[in-house]
Chain A
């Protein structure tokens, strides 16, 4: 049962073939069996999950009208607060912290009777592309345990690929949902900025951060997306407009007559051959289904990475000022005669890891007087140019596509000492965040060189998230015929043990 899709599990629950308690227990057993090797979870809420499952079963038995995902287990990225459940953001700074409130995403999951299994590992405060920056040790890719599962949401994507959970929540500031999805053979969507509430999402870079759904199929991801989306008065940047018909689009999957724009700048040099092969095959499949493939140019995208690594650290240096050892989190060096400022200095030195400090210092520099215009100011102008590139491209195409990440999963430790090489992982995902539009990654197959999954990225204009699911569903079906089975069924090593 744990290898089925969430929508198949939902059918089994509706038909009375199984119960949510049995389903939840099966996933808890799987976590107990494999998570010592995968390390997808930082915290497993056995008692809470079984209680939520029992409640869902009780409501079903009473004949209550239930949401499509009622009783289905889910893994929650540890950057999203859940009342009373440890939330660390992968940082020592928040070790032992139990938030006194629920994020809006958690409230919506509860209202839909989704069962939250626990909290997943991540790069500290979502800064990274490999989950190696977690203060609690790396997560391992279920396809090959010596490789990274992507990041920052590597725990969420690995939990799906290891069949520890059928659904997961991620957050995406520069690719932290899509790149992990790409390297684990799963599906992930960064919704339109403002499409899903950020209330209770621990902030990294507020103008870029966006929570979103992760799943093993396009339809499962759509069902989760619709569950968590919508306007929230508690988030002033939440869009007050109807949620697009996402699930309907995922069930439609018709690309006939649709214009699909291939971004010229997001391929070629720096991209692994096998990744490009799968990308080009996917384009052929979509053309075969009646889509019109056009090439578009986004000439300013080559500056996106540089602009991102000024904007995100600048916002991070401001956002992470809240960790001051006064109201919550750890406090270090508090002794008679030691000032508050000294306690702050000591706590932040001990509480933050290397990458977080690097970005705080970089952001402090970019915002400091004398450098502001040259760095942060210039990066904001590049952001305008990237938005204009997208606007122009969307006059020529309904959706845009690219490989999600330039390579398949690399070895743990391979890029740990080279920040620039690590940052290049996000070269194709970052422009989407800069413009606030939406993007999906879904598996396009296995790369020839290493038999590891490659990702296909679809991008659509703001509040046109339904287009992602329409195109994604069409491609998923076509790939299923080509490969004979879901790409994740080819998972070697650990995933095959299920």
Chain B
């Protein structure tokens, strides 16, 4: 496959919400190219007739009874929050000024 460009990595970092330093983007672009070339060989044997396996167990959703059980108190749930106010997590602004 073609190499992965610095711009590609910058876009992936944006999607992954990581504010990568320019030097990191350069380094990762060259490393990812090598790694992708190595892992691309899965395509050699992944024929149309092979079904995919996403999980080792045949999974089905598991429901529990709709009963109130003991869970974290609001205080415990908020105990590790970087910031909180009342019984809520306090977060930075999520909407632009004009919204």
Q: Which residues of A contact B (CB under 8 A)?
A: 97-101, 193-194, 207, 233, 236-237, 239, 300, 303, 306-307, 309-310, 317, 321, 324-331, 334, 337-346, 348-349, 352, 357-358, 360-362, 364-365, 368, 374-375, 377-385, 387, 419-420, 434-437, 462
Q: Is B68 an interface residue (CB 8 A)?
A: no
A97 touches B46 (CB 8 A): no
B93 touches A340 (CB 8 A): yes
Collect the chain B residues with CB atoms within 8 Å of residue A437's CB: 56
Q: Considering residues B32, B46, B59, which has the most beta carbons from chain A within 10 angstroms of its beta carbon?
A: B46
In angstroms, Cα B9 to Cα A98, docked, is 34
6 residue pairs from A and B, CB less than 8 Å apart: A97-B80, A307-B42, A343-B92, A375-B40, A383-B53, A383-B54
In angstroms, Cα B16 to Cα A364, docked, is 7
Residue of B nearest to A307 (CB): B42
Q: Considering residues B77, B79, B82, B83, which has the most beta carbons from chain A within 10 angstroms of its beta carbon?
A: B82
Q: Which residues of B contact A (CB under 8 A)?
A: 4, 8-9, 12-13, 15-21, 24, 28, 31-32, 34-36, 38-47, 50-57, 59, 61-62, 64, 72, 76-77, 79-83, 89, 91-94, 96
B45 touches A300 (CB 8 A): yes
In angstroms, Cα B32 to Cα A408, docked, is 28
A101 touches B47 (CB 8 A): no
Collect the chain B residues with CB atoms within 8 Å of residue A337's CB: 93
Collect the chain B residues with CB atoms within 8 Å of residue A328's CB: 80-82
In angstroms, Cα B84 to Cα A201, docked, is 25
A375 touches B42 (CB 8 A): yes
B55 touches A207 (CB 8 A): yes
In angstroms, Cα B81 to Cα A72, docked, is 35
A306 touches B64 (CB 8 A): no
Nearest 9 pairs between A and B by C-beta? Answer: A436-B56, A380-B52, A378-B46, A331-B82, A345-B19, A328-B80, A381-B46, A100-B76, A381-B50
Q: Considering residues A99, A100, A334, A340, which has the most beta carbons from chain B within 10 angstroms of its beta carbon?
A: A100
**Would A419 and B56 be within 8 Å (CB), given that A100-B72, A326-B82, A381-B50 are in contact?**
no
Collect the chain B residues with CB atoms within 8 Å of residue A326's CB: 81-82, 89, 91
Smallest CB–CB gap between A43 and chain B, Å? 16
A327 touches B89 (CB 8 A): yes
A349 touches B18 (CB 8 A): yes
In angstroms, Cα B19 to Cα A328, docked, is 19
Smallest CB–CB gap between B20 and chain A, Å? 6
Q: Considering residues B28, B40, B50, B89, which has the most beta carbons from chain A within 10 angstroms of its beta carbon?
A: B50
B32 touches A345 (CB 8 A): no
B53 touches A387 (CB 8 A): yes
